[in-house]
Structure 1
Amino acid sequence: MTQLTRRTLLGSAAATGAMAATAALAQDDQVEAAADLSGKSILITGCSTGFGRLMAEDFARKGAKVFASMRNLPRTEATELTALAAADNLDLHVLEIDVLDDAQVVAGVAEAERIAGGALDVLVNNAGVSIGGPVEIHDMTATQLVFDTNVFGPHRMARAVLPKMRAAKSGQIFNVTSQLGRVIAPGFGQYSGTKFALEALSEQMAYELVPHGVDVTIIEPGGYPTMIWKNANTLALELLEREDDTHTSGYPAMVEPLGKRTGGGGSTDPMDVPKAIARIIAMPPGTRPLRKPVHPGTKPQIAINDVTAKTQVAWLGNSPYGPWVNDVHNV
C-alpha cells in the first residue's frame, strides 16, 4: 500500500492554490463563490426539490453538464426543469433515477456516462428522507425506507459510477449527510442512524479511493427550509396510521407533534449547500476536504470532526493504511 499521496504529486504551485482555496472554504458559507464548473459532468440525485433542484440549476449556470435525476417521471418538476434548461440554453439533462431501484440506478448512470462521453466528474448523493419520532415507534416499513434511501441509495449510486471513475483516475463523490450524522437530537427516529452510517461509509471510501484518484467529501448541513420537512410529516402520518399504542403510548410528548412540524430551518438560505459544493468541486483534486459543515449558525459537529480526524491519524497514520489516511486528512 505504500505510495506517494496525490497531494505530494501536486507540486508547489498547485499546493499554494489549494491552501488558498481551503482558506476561502473556511469563510462564511453565505459568500457567493465564483466557481467555474465548465467542462465538469455532474450527476445529482433528488433534484425534484430542495438542495438537489438548486444544485442542478446553479451548477449548470456555472458551466457544468448537469444530470438532474429524480424518481417517478413524468412529473411537473421534471417538465419545469427541462423547460428552464431549454429557455436559458443550459447543458442540463433530466434523468429518471429512483435510488431504491437497482435497475434504474444502473440505467440512469449509464445514460449519463453515454451523454458525457465517458466517466462522470462528480456524483452528488443528495436524495434523502426523514421520519420523526422515537426509534421504538418505527416499524420495519419505515426503518427499511429510510435506510434504503439514505444509505443503500448512495451506495448503489457510488457502485454505478466508480468503475469508470477509477479507470479515469479522477472523480469526486459528495455524500450529503447532516449535523445529525455526528450529533444526536432525540425524536428524529432512524434519521441519525442512517446519516451516521453514511458518514462512516463515506470516510471509508475516501481512504480506499486514494490510489484511484477519486475524492470523497461529506457535506453536513444544519437545518434548512426544504421539502424534507413536509415529506417527513407525510411519512410520519403514514407511520402513525400503521402503529397502535403498543409502542406510541410510551412517548406522548414526542408523538403528538408528528405530522405537524413546520418551519424547519427557519430563514436560512438553502443555496448555502450548492455554493459550498461548487467551491469544493473547483478545488484542485487531492486537496478537497473530507467533511464540510454548512450552516450560518451553530455547527456542533466541528469538534467531533476534529477529534475523529486526529484519532484516525494517530491510530493508522503509521500503519500500512497510513498513506491513504494521511492523504485524506492532509497530513
Structure 2
Amino acid sequence: MSNNNNQIPGINPDNGPALPRGPPGREFNAIDIINTRGFDHLMKLYEVDRRLTMRNRQDIIDFYTSLSKSTLSYGWGAFFALGSIPFVLRYRRTGSTRGARAGLGIIGGMLGMMAGSNYGLRRGYSTGFHALEQDSSKQPVVEMIKLMSPMEAPMWMRYFQETAKDETKVMPDPRVVVQQLKEQGIEIKPGFLGRTRDPLGIHPRRPASVCRDQSSTAQPSIATQVSEMDNDPFAEAEPAKPTLSPWEAVRVRNGLARYDRAVPVSAQQPYADSSDAQTSFDQLMEKERGYSEPDASKDDGDKWA
C-alpha cells in the first residue's frame, strides 16, 4: 500500500474499482459523511444502494412521502390545538374571544408544532417501516431505510427521486471519489451541527480555489471605441448628442420616432434668418411705405395756389 497520507485504507489507486461516477460536474460529497458517521457507514450505504432496483427506489419515495405527510399533519394539528387554547378559555369565561392573549397562543402553537412534528415523524416512520418488513420482496428497501436517519427525509427523498429517473445519478464508489477529492485538494466542511445539506452531491459544487480565483480576477471594463480622430490635436470635437428620456429612447428604438424629432426643444438650435431674405423683405416694406405716404411737396403747392 502506498505511503501517501491522502490514501484511503483499503484502496489501491493503481487497480482500484473504476465504477461510473455519474454525469460530469456532479461531485460526490462524501467527506462530510465520513466526518460525521465514518467511512464504514458510507460504504454500507453504497453497497445497499447499488442493489436497489427502480421499483425499490419508488418504494422508498412512497415511504418518505407518507412520512412527510404524517409529520406535517401532526405538526399543524398540534399548532392549531395549542394555539387556540387562550381563545377557548377567554370565550368560556366572557362569551367572546376579544381580549385573548394572542401572543401566548402563538408561542403555544409553535411549541405544539415542534412536539407534534416530532411525534408524527416517529409514528409515521415506525408504521411505514413495519409495513415494509412484512413484505419479503422489499428487504433491500428495509436495509436502506435502516441506514438512513429519519431527520434527513427531505434530502433522501430528493436523491431517490433523481435516481429513479436517471441511473447515472446513482451514488458512485466512495473510495474512488474520496481519493480523487483529496488529490484535487477539495475540502468540504460540515454544515450546521455536523450535518450536511447535500451529502450525496446531487447539486454540483465548485472547488474553493476556483471561487477564490474568480473573486480575485478584476472585472473587465467596458471597451470604448477608439477612432483615428482621437490622436489628432487639431480635430474638432463633435457636439454631444442630447440625452433622451427613457420614453423617447424607447420610441426611437422601436422606430416610432426619429432621433431629430426626439431631441428636446432646449437642444435645438434657433432658426437663423438669411441675409438675402432679410434684404428683400426690407425693400418690400420701403416700397409699400412709398405708395401709402402722400407727396408732401405736392400737397403744399395745392394749398398755397
Look at both structures and tell me which one has the larger radius of gyration over its CA atoms. 2
Structure number with higher strand proportion:
1
TM-score normalised by L of structure 1? 0.22
TM-score normalised by L of structure 2? 0.24
- Larger relative contact order (Cα-Cα within 8 Å, sequence gap ≥ 6): 2
